Amino acid sequence: MESRNLVYVLTGIAVALIVVIGGLVLLVSSGGDGDDDGSSGGNGDASPTLGARVEGELRIPGGDPITLDPACATDIESASYIIEIFSGLVGYDNNLELIPDIASEWDVSDDGTVYTFHLRTNVLFHDGSRRVASDDFKYSMERALNPDTASLVADVYLGDIVGVDEFISGDASEVSGIKAPNPDTLEITIEKASPVFLPKLTYPTAFVVDRNETEGSSCFDAGWTFSPNGTGPFELAEWDLGNAIILEPNPDYYLDPKPSLSKITFLLSGGSSFTMYQNDEIDITGVGKDNVESVRDATNELNAEYRFSTTLSVSYIGFNVNQEPFDDPEVRRALAMAIDKEFLTENLYKGLLDAADGILPPEMPGHNPDLQGIPYDPDAARDLLDDTGKRDLLEDVTILTSGQGAAPDDVLQAITAMWEQNLGLTITVEQEDFALLTQDINDGNFDMFSIGWIADYPDPQNFLEIKFHTDSSNNDVGYSNPEVDRLLDEANGDLSDEERFELYQEAEQIIVDDQPWIPLFFGTSSLLVKPHVQGYEAAPFAIPNLRYVSISD
């Protein structure tokens, strides 16, 4: 008996596998009919039961926002909902043009410090109770800046305004630079002229909110955000945590084109959106690197629905330029030369990423197509590194990145492998929580790090000055080049766009030669859009574009 036990045990194992799976098949296929009771309409039961698709409804996958309070939003996900529900003085359209929003027109004083906005008279809050007047804006901006509100970003976007410091420190009870002389006029005075002040006003911190529902609430009181009284093209019909966000068009919307969708449903619960798209449960989906090859194949019927565009973002590796051996630009250049960006974008990411040579993405106004980047040349890289004689200083170097999983993403693994193969360097990747990463970067506690940067507004200043000017608080690598500073300061003056762009391009070339960053990729957007969805264009950064979308049946 005992000697046959092994056979029986093994048979048992094998049969277990087969029986379990087979039994399952039977169970599920016979029980499948019962599942349709709950989900109504012909939707199939893979999506939340939110009713059958109504005419003119757009269904998109999404994530839970961290907040819907315009004064408090610090991430892209939250901002993308906020910009549809709320609005402000100025905005962007689908062509990246700054357009009037609630302010129909504005005058700027000769010295560029006083902006006088003339507000439309027909802008109503969603509940229709009253129109938006200038004191609503004064209230909203002061609320955003109020230390009690605890906004992490208000002072960054509104900090140019006169009187902000006194207000934040408590010396003043209002912001002196914001005046509401009459309901139709809002006057804002800033410390000194800036070509990017208006773009900063397109960010949610400058949006208007209803004082009746927000008075006294801080960023840590989100109750009112579940039924907000906004002014944007869409109203929030429901926010079902973890499940769905439903938007409905604002009938009183004041800009053209008015929203033509009857309903937008964001599906927040997980699942593969690619499969949901194939099952006709959603209308738009992203295409990941695992699917992009098959989608790009012209024989694939999905190919006709494929859209590819670039976004205004860049991912890069930053060096601690004030620390040995990264204070030597030759070392930085050698490391840059050893990275085969083509392999990463073509082979690893199947063309989903756009290799970056410079700082400004292709869609950014002022992008320089003739920029000279650092080429991939492993032999030259090796020689260069040897010439510096600092190879041994690179012994225990680490590169920080954000992440939680068992291994860092493929790109970083490939890059460290390239450094190993081409330069013989063993550089370790350290994953940290994003919170820790930003703290370490702020403290200068790093050798190298890998991170990305997305535009707030489509101006080169948002990349070049914010990240590379000596005095900028967001200059995370600690780069300081007086020539670059001079060019950036000059570009802030009263010049034409062309003149400014020339200056920025000059600065960018110097920066790229110095390589305080190794720019890796520009962001792209790879989508599938159903043919019945009209007017949808992927936004290069956070732009409210859903009012341009319609469904043709």
Residues in 457-516 that interact with other proteins by CB under 8 A? 466, 473-474, 476
Assigned token pair, 76: 């892209």
Binding mask 147-186 for other proteins (x = CB under 8 A): x--x-xx-xx------------------------------
Residues 235-274 that bind other proteins (CB under 8 A): 241-243, 269-272
Stretch that binds other proteins, among 131-139, 205-213, 418-426, 479-487 (CB under 8 A): 418-426
Q: Does 92 bind other proteins (CB under 8 A)?
A: no
Among the listed ranges 128-136, 254-262, 429-437, 511-519, the one in contact with other proteins (CB under 8 A) is 429-437
Among 55, 396, 498, 553, binds other proteins (CB under 8 A): 396
Minimum distance, C-beta of residue 270 to other proteins, in the bound complex (Å): 3
Peptide bond into 65 cis (omega under 30): no
| Site for other proteins contains 8 (CB under 8 A) | yes
Sole binder of other proteins in the list 322, 413, 470, 534 (CB under 8 A): 413
Q: Which is nearer to other proteins, 270 or 482 (CB)?
A: 270
Taking each helix axis from N to C end, the angle separating 461-468 and 497-514, rounded to the nearest 10 degrees, works out to 40
Q: Determine if 52 is a binding residue for other proteins (CB under 8 A).
A: no
- Count CB-CB contacts under 10 A for residue 332: 22
Beta bridge partners of 179: 187
| Closest-CA residue to 69 (of 224, 283, 267) | 224
Q: Determine if 410 is a binding residue for other proteins (CB under 8 A).
A: yes
Query: Are the C-beta atoms of residues 57 and 265 closer than 8 Å to each other?
Result: yes
Q: Min. distance of Cβ 417 from other proteins in angstroms? A: 3
323 binds other proteins (CB under 8 A): no
Q: Is 72 in the site for other proteins (CB under 8 A)?
A: yes
SS3 of residue 259 by DSSP: coil
What residue ranges in 320-355 does DSSP mark as E strands? 354-355
Interface positions, 332-351, toward other proteins (CB under 8 A):
340, 343, 347-348
Task: Give the interface size with other proteins as a residue count (CB under 8 A).
Answer: 102
Question: CA 399, 400, 406, 410 torsion: positive or negative?
Answer: negative
Question: Does the protein bind other proteins through residue 433 (CB under 8 A)?
Answer: yes
Least distance between other proteins and beta carbon 120 (Å): 30
Residue 10 binding other proteins, by CB under 8 A: yes
Q: What are phi and psi of 529, to 5 degrees?
A: -125, 130
What's the gap between Cα 419 and its chain centre? Answer: 29
Kindly tell me which of 172 and 407 has the beta carbon lying closer to other proteins: 407
Residue number with CB closer to other proteins (171 or 396)? 396
39: DSSP letter: S
**Nearer to other proteins (CB atom), residue 85 or residue 441:** 441
The token pair that represents 353 in the structure block:
């990423």
Least distance between other proteins and beta carbon 478 (Å): 14
Asked if residue 45 binds other proteins (CB under 8 A), the reply is yes
Closest CA to 313 of 452, 457, 520: 452
Q: In 3-state terms, the chain is what percent helix, strand and coil (to 5)?
A: 35, 20, 45
Return the structure tokens found at 502. Answer: 């020339």
| CA neighbor of 199 nearest in space, from 463, 17, 551 | 463
Q: Which is nearer to other proteins, 105 or 420 (CB)?
A: 420
CB distance 163 to 176 below 8 Å: yes
